[in-house]
A and B are shown apart, each in its own frame.
Chain A
Amino acid sequence: MTEPLTDAERMRLAAIAVALFPASATMPSAADTGATGKWLDRVLAADPLRTTALRALAGRSETDPWAAAEGLFRDDPATFEDASDSLVMAYYMHPGVRKRIGYPGQKGQGPIAPDEAEHYLPDELIAPMRSRAPLYVPTPDA
């Protein structure tokens, strides 16, 4: 059983998350989205074992959040990737962030339209393949 993150660890992760995802002209920061709050909860609900790597990141001795991330990446790359993956997932779970990057989620688009396949596959695109000689090697003893 993995112990939940403490409030202090959450605060530390929030600072590191902002270093990894700062505000820009078009994008909110990790703090603006509450990434290390309810969205990180969603990640940890899906996979509580991710807490271990996040705890390692939160526990770095470097005062500066970016230096803490750099330090874990240098000393234990696998744990850093595990922890940063969790923060990536939490940040990009926010609907506003998804909208800004043009990602609708894996939503249904409705049934395929009758002419949709042909639309993407015009004759001139596939013509070189239709005119190719066979590539396959026939069964020798057939």
Chain B
Amino acid sequence: MPEAEVADVLVIGAGASGSVLTARLAEAGVSVTCLEQGGWVSASEFPGEDPAFDAIQLARWAMNPNTRKRPADYPINTAEADIWPLMFNGVGGGTVHYAAMWPRLVPSDFRVRTLDGVADDWPISYEDLEPFYERVQERWGVSGMAGDPAYPPMPEYPMPALPIGLIGQRAAAGMNRLGWHWWPHPNAIASRAHGRLAPCERRGVCQTGCIAGAKSSTDITYWPDAIRDGARLITGARVREITVNQTGRATGAIYIDRDGAEHHARGRTVVMATNGVGTPRLLLLSRSTHHPDGLANSSGLVGRRLMLHPMVAVAGTYEDDLESWRGPGGTPLIGLEFYETDRSRGFVRGAKWDLYPVAGTLPHFQLLHGKPLKERFGASAHERMARMMGRTFLWEAQIDDLPQVTNRVELDPTLTDSDGIPAPRVLYRVHEDARRNMAFQLDRMREAHEAAGAIETNEWHWMPEVGWHTLGTARCGNDPTDSVVDGYGRSHDVSNLFVIDGSVFVTGSAMNPTSTIAAFALRTAEHILATRRDS
């Protein structure tokens, strides 16, 4: 097996966290090699302008790797999962496919045990991450408006907020009538030219890749600089094992290239950045004499405490043409009225609301799935479409589903990827508390639409294909018996091994996690630099 030169740091995964850490270390002169199982994605592949956009985004450009089945994807057994993990495997990782929503966690998200008596506190606080939130949003390219009363004071964003559009105006007016919180949502989408980002054209197809080049994905905003600064990015490199030496320290990774040849990439420090499914999969695959239950798994928590955000939505249809097909999609508004715990509601924690445009034609009919045919087809079809097209938008609630050790990623006994490597199996059941939360939010979202003047509402009570945020499977903490890594992502068991993706989350919050993942990764990068200098 070919042996490469030893890099100072070997990073597995070129998505959000791996990009941030690699770029920072390379900028500081550290030799970094990054292994990425996928390749570069060209904007010419994005389907947003194709008339068959609806069909393409549900098939070869789907967010579910089990549906998409690109060569870089690996299968996931979701037969026993209420929610199915979504991801993208390639340079930029999930940021190629994400909606680019950029909310921070709020301070209470880090102190759920202290404040609510359930789950656990993080070993770090909002204040610990705050300076890193501010640094990453500048480079990442975030548009937003400071002053949100749901957050501690923060400086202005690098760019002004995106236009909230007619749907935002209508929704905000309804929320004002109810006295409920809303604010222009921060998005990692350029409202004007910023670095390598072009200004947004409000196409509304953010989640299938931005044709305009306005959405900040790290293949655009981080990797060109990282490579310029000397980082080595190896694409098409599917890792099957993290290797260790006789003392149990990490030495590198064995990967398979696209010609089927095995290689050993070596690093003095190894950093896992392959998301909340991929990271536990690789750690569990890396069994050895020193680590018989998988690497960094003396706590038994690798793969455990998986958190995925359940989502529910209510579509409101209005009399006026609101151009509700226009972006960002992305989201123009955030609603946090029901985010913090209020036990009188019958559950702890809460939900984040997002306002969504409706891109394409098919979703208008999907909203009516299950209804009698005569209400949606035949003589009704044209009346329904005329009533809904451009006049329908969604409030969607993203639910905080607290960690359960039974929700987990493990290795499937039979399913493998195209290289014969055992695939992950996900076992996930939404907690009863979260189900009560979902029911509560559905009622409130319907009220929000009614207050805004909706003439009709339709609900999505249950959506399994919403596991964008894979969190918690290598949680951070101070106690090695009850956590996998410390507050910097360093393994308690293997001192030269770090985890920096969403696996480190202690609680999932109800926020889109990318800003926190990026801030955590940058903080870890600075820690690695500081401890290198110290040593």
Asked if B191 and A125 sit within 8 Å, CB to CB, the answer is: no
Given contacts A47-B60, A81-B369, A102-B390, contact A26 B321 (CB under 8 A): no
Interface of B is mostly: loop
Residues of A within 8 A of B126 (CB): 139, 142
| Choice from A21, A42, A106, A137 contacting B107 with Cβ under 8 Å | A137
Given contacts A112-B192, A119-B163, A120-B169, contact A26 B382 (CB under 8 A): yes
Residues of B within 8 A of A101 (CB): 361, 385-386, 389
**Count of interface residues, chain A, beta-carbon cutoff 8 Å:** 62
Which residues of B in the span 39-60 have a Cβ within 8 Å of any Cβ on A? 48-49, 51-56, 58-60
Given contacts A46-B52, A103-B390, contact A108 B168 (CB under 8 A): no
Q: Is B418 an interface position by the 8 A CB rule?
A: no
Q: B405 CB to closest chain A CB, in angstroms?
A: 25
Asked if A46 and B361 sit within 8 Å, CB to CB, the answer is: no
Interface string of B131-163 (1 = CB under 8 A from A): 000000000000000011111100000001111
Asked if B106 and A137 sit within 8 Å, CB to CB, the answer is: yes
Asked if B108 and A136 sit within 8 Å, CB to CB, the answer is: yes
Interface string of A67-86 (1 = CB under 8 A from B): 00110010001000100111
Asked if A139 and B125 sit within 8 Å, CB to CB, the answer is: yes
Residues of B within 8 A of A47 (CB): 55-56, 58-60
Given contacts A88-B361, A117-B162, A129-B183, contact A106 B325 (CB under 8 A): yes
Q: Is B118 an interface position by the 8 A CB rule?
A: no
Q: Given the complex of chains A and B, what is the CA–CA distance between A133 and B202 in angstroms?
A: 32
Given contacts A112-B199, A112-B200, contact A106 B162 (CB under 8 A): no
Q: A28 CB to closest chain B CB, in angstroms?
A: 10
Interface string of B299-329 (1 = CB under 8 A from A): 0000000000000000000000100011100
Given contacts A88-B365, A132-B181, contact A140 B200 (CB under 8 A): no
Which residues of B in the span 353-396 have a Cβ within 8 Å of any Cβ on A? 359-362, 365-366, 369-370, 373, 377-379, 381-382, 385-386, 389-390
Asked if B55 and A43 sit within 8 Å, CB to CB, the answer is: yes
Asked if B150 and A136 sit within 8 Å, CB to CB, the answer is: yes
| Choice from B176, B327, B378 contacting A128 with Cβ under 8 Å | B176
Given contacts A103-B325, A106-B204, contact A84 B149 (CB under 8 A): no
Which residues of A in the span 22-48 have a Cβ within 8 Å of any Cβ on B? 22, 24, 26-27, 42-43, 45-47
Asked if A136 and B377 sit within 8 Å, CB to CB, the answer is: no
Q: Is B74 an interface position by the 8 A CB rule?
A: no
Q: Given the complex of chains A and B, what is the CA–CA distance between A19 and B359 in angstroms?
A: 26
In this complex, what residue of A is CB-closest to B327?
A106
Residues of A within 8 A of B191 (CB): 112, 117
Asked if B115 and A140 sit within 8 Å, CB to CB, the answer is: yes
| Choice from B58, B181, B381, B382 contacting A135 with Cβ under 8 Å | B181
Q: Given the complex of chains A and B, what is the CA–CA distance between A125 and B174 in angstroms?
A: 10
Asked if B149 and A135 sit within 8 Å, CB to CB, the answer is: yes
Q: Is B459 an interface position by the 8 A CB rule?
A: no
Asked if B192 and A89 sit within 8 Å, CB to CB, the answer is: no
In this complex, what residue of B is CB-closest to A44?
B55
Given contacts A46-B52, A47-B55, contact A106 B359 (CB under 8 A): yes
In this complex, what residue of B is CB-closest to A104?
B325
| Choice from B111, B149, B377 contacting A129 with Cβ under 8 Å | B149
Residues of A within 8 A of B280 (CB): none
Q: Given the complex of chains A and B, what is the CA–CA distance between A101 and B115 in angstroms?
A: 51
Asked if B55 and A21 sit within 8 Å, CB to CB, the answer is: no
Asked if B203 and A106 sit within 8 Å, CB to CB, the answer is: yes
User: Which A-B residue pairs are the 9 nearest by beta carbons?
Assistant: A47-B59, A108-B201, A46-B55, A92-B361, A111-B199, A137-B108, A20-B377, A139-B107, A27-B382
